[in-house]
A and B are shown apart, each in its own frame.
Chain A
Amino acid sequence: MPALVIVAHGSHLNPGSHDPTFTHADTVRAAGAFDEVREAFWKEEPSFREVLRTIESEEVYVVPLFVSEGYFTEEVIPRELRLEDWDVSLWDSDGTDADTATLTAADVDKTIHYCGPVGTHPAMSDVIVQRAESVTQNPDVGEGFGLAVVGHGTNRNENSAKAIEYHADRVREMDRFDEVNALFMDEEPEVDDVTDYFESEDVVVVPLFVADGYHTQEDIPEDMGLTDDYREGYETPTEVEGHHIWYAGAVGTEPLMADVLLERAADAGADVDEALDIVRKRTATPAAGD
């Protein structure tokens, strides 16, 4: 039976950074599609360098728990996993449609299916919607609501913005919310001006981040004017300039993320149909009143 390795950033400073990784790994474990499921981190242990040698299976699916394609998924992870003959062209991606590449690693005798990151998988759009359902506690949220998908945005990596726009476009095409916009922390259109970009009175704001931390818990709430000092907290929703802002926090904490991990492995050939059913049932938004 193959193994699944979830590779994530982790943190030297924030103990909560690895929580979503552990939670989603446990959901996948419980679904039983893999004999082994292991978490590995850039900043924690096991490191990308050493995780493959801890695995018994000879076939390993590696899924990056990262939001966009770029420096980490294209350069750091393949290098640190020692994937032989890796070249980003194997993904044949324009920045949002990486799929999978089957390779060997230099330090272990295994077949490695190196998958694109969860963040650019089409199923991620569903997680964003489910995040909106979770924060509003309304499984039918949409009508009368605007939705903002928020990314870091950075001039260093154009793919970072592409992933945000990709999902904003997809959610818009669902025709479920009155308005959908992509906003950024470091570039225009900026999340600071969220109320300028929406006519809807109610706006759900979903940051496309893997884990809650400095950006999602301190920066964005203060930038949007939910609070002057994040330590004092804020209501959900908070009234800002005549709008109700429903701030969702990092999308990566949504239980349905486990589904995207499995989808990535499925796209790479893993037999996970049953596990997908189990995970979807377990991570569904409870119906209203539950």
Chain B
Amino acid sequence: MNDSQLAALREAAADGVTRDGLSATQDDSGYTFVTPEVSHDGLSEEEFDALATENPWFVSNWHYWRGASETNEAFLRWVEHASELGVRERYETLVNGLTREWGELLVTTTLGTDGERSYELRHTADATTAVAELDSYHDPREAREVSTLDEDGRYRPLKTAPTLREGWRFADLDGRDLVRTVEFFYPATVANWYREQAGELDVSHFRETAERQTGIYSVIDDLDVDSVENLAEACCVDSQCLKRREWDEDEETPLDAPRGDGEFPCREPCSLVVAAARQFAVLEGEETRTYEVELTPSERSQLTDLVDAVADGRVDEIREADVGDGANRYRARYLRAKRLADGEFESLREKN
């Protein structure tokens, strides 16, 4: 606590102050000063100052939270576990840092001088990485660059895909810049999380989203509920996106695909899901047919290995010489050489 914080508290007491167990008021009978441990009223200014000086953490804690926007305050207080830890416990723990995970982001709060908080952000996988090994950033806008490409240099069109690259940290952020940085990594997640906390998350389900579309996307309304189920399973589970899906087919028709365990909600199908849905809607316009194709049992199961490898994003992990894996490149090339001509199975026949 410093003198200006104390002066600010004295001034604010006239309107009444309550924060995390601290209560301070002032009226004709003098000041009151209450914490979970002490309670005094009818205090003179000198007595009030003395009590504040004996309880500096309560004063600096009150001072820190003044002036933050509602959303930022809720998020930053969640970040330092304010609803679980009292001021004293929190201050003791903040010395070494309190952490929270937000998708693949690890937020660490530490205590600066006079109760100011300092925030650090890094990849959850870098939790124990030495600072010297991480690229250091300070400007929130740099998160746009860090989040554009994945570890392999591929574009990440979906910000909340679990493909954030590692090896960086944003250090010495104040509260506002922490939220800005988080919002550059995961846009609108803090705002939507806050709405959800307040019981005011405005979910737009698949069907109303589909009905809203125009132009080339209006076709997605043709998808039936089973296809929407497949769509959610394909695009929206935790292996693909870290948002927790809160939308369904409609208010009355929940989808079975796992919603995910993410901290922040997904309140409507995103543009990537809408674009994928358009492709699926076009493909679902076809009727099924029955085909006959000659394959050995191993070749048939190899086809499922290939589908699985692509669907699980495992293609790059399959070792060059691991010919035991049906999705191995040599295996796939052998199958193509043996069974395909001009991109089609040679033995394929459509049955009537």
Contact = CB atoms under 8 A, between A and B. Distances in A.
A104 B340 CA distance: 59
A288 interface: no
Given A53-B191, A79-B212, A107-B202, A45 B159 contact: yes
Contacts of A107: 202
B10 to A, nearest CB: 29
Given A47-B270, A50-B192, A75-B214, A11 B157 contact: yes
B85 interface: no
A107 B214 CA distance: 21
B296 interface: no
Contacts of B214: 75-76, 79
B144 to A, nearest CB: 6
B188 A43 contact: no
A54 B183 contact: yes
B188 A44 contact: no
B317 to A, nearest CB: 23
Contacts, number: 65
B272 interface: yes
A43 B215 contact: no
A26 interface: yes
A14 interface: yes
Listed residue (A11, A13, A18, A56) with the most chain B CB atoms within 10 angstroms of its CB: A56
B114 to A, nearest CB: 25
A80 to B, nearest CB: 8
A106 to B, nearest CB: 9
Contact of B195 (A41, A47, A53): A53
B192 A47 contact: no
Contacts of A22: 141, 144
Nearest to A49: B268
A159 B132 CA distance: 55
A46 interface: yes
B191 A50 contact: yes
Contacts of B149: 15
A11 B192 CA distance: 23
Contacts of A75: 214
Nearest to B202: A107
B271 A43 contact: yes
Contacts of A13: 155, 157
Contacts of B157: 11-13, 43-44
Contact of B187 (A26, A42, A46): A46
A279 B149 CA distance: 30
B158 to A, nearest CB: 8
A60 to B, nearest CB: 14
Given A15-B155, A76-B214, A50 B141 contact: no
B247 to A, nearest CB: 12
A71 interface: yes
B215 A71 contact: yes
Given A22-B144, A53-B192, A75-B214, A47 B271 contact: yes
Contacts of B144: 18, 22
B83 interface: no
B14 interface: no
B202 A45 contact: no
B49 to A, nearest CB: 34
B148 interface: yes
A101 interface: no
Contact of A51 (B188, B190, B275): B188
B187 A45 contact: yes
B19 to A, nearest CB: 21
B94 to A, nearest CB: 26
A45 B69 contact: no
Contacts of A26: 141
B146 to A, nearest CB: 13
A124 to B, nearest CB: 25
A230 B204 CA distance: 43
Contacts of A41: 271
Interface in B153-195: 155, 157-160, 183, 187-188, 190-192, 195
A15 B187 contact: no
B191 A54 contact: yes
Given A45-B187, A47-B270, A15 B148 contact: yes
Interface in B185-238: 187-188, 190-192, 195, 202, 204, 212, 214-215
Nearest first, the 5 A-B pairs at minimum CB distance are A46-B187, A50-B188, A45-B187, A15-B155, A12-B157
Interface of B: 69, 71, 141, 144, 148-149, 155, 157-160, 183, 187-188, 190-192, 195, 202, 204, 212, 214-215, 267-268, 270-272, 275
Given A22-B141, A29-B141, A76-B215, 9 more contacts: A18-B148, A22-B144, A41-B271, A43-B271, A44-B157, A45-B159, A50-B192, A50-B267, A54-B190
24 contacts: A11-B157, A14-B155, A15-B155, A18-B148, A22-B141, A29-B141, A43-B157, A43-B271, A44-B157, A44-B271, A45-B159, A45-B160, A46-B183, A47-B187, A47-B270, A50-B188, A50-B191, A51-B187, A53-B191, A54-B183, A54-B191, A71-B215, A79-B212, A79-B214
Interface of A: 11-15, 18, 22, 26, 29, 41-47, 49-51, 53-54, 56, 71, 75-76, 79, 107
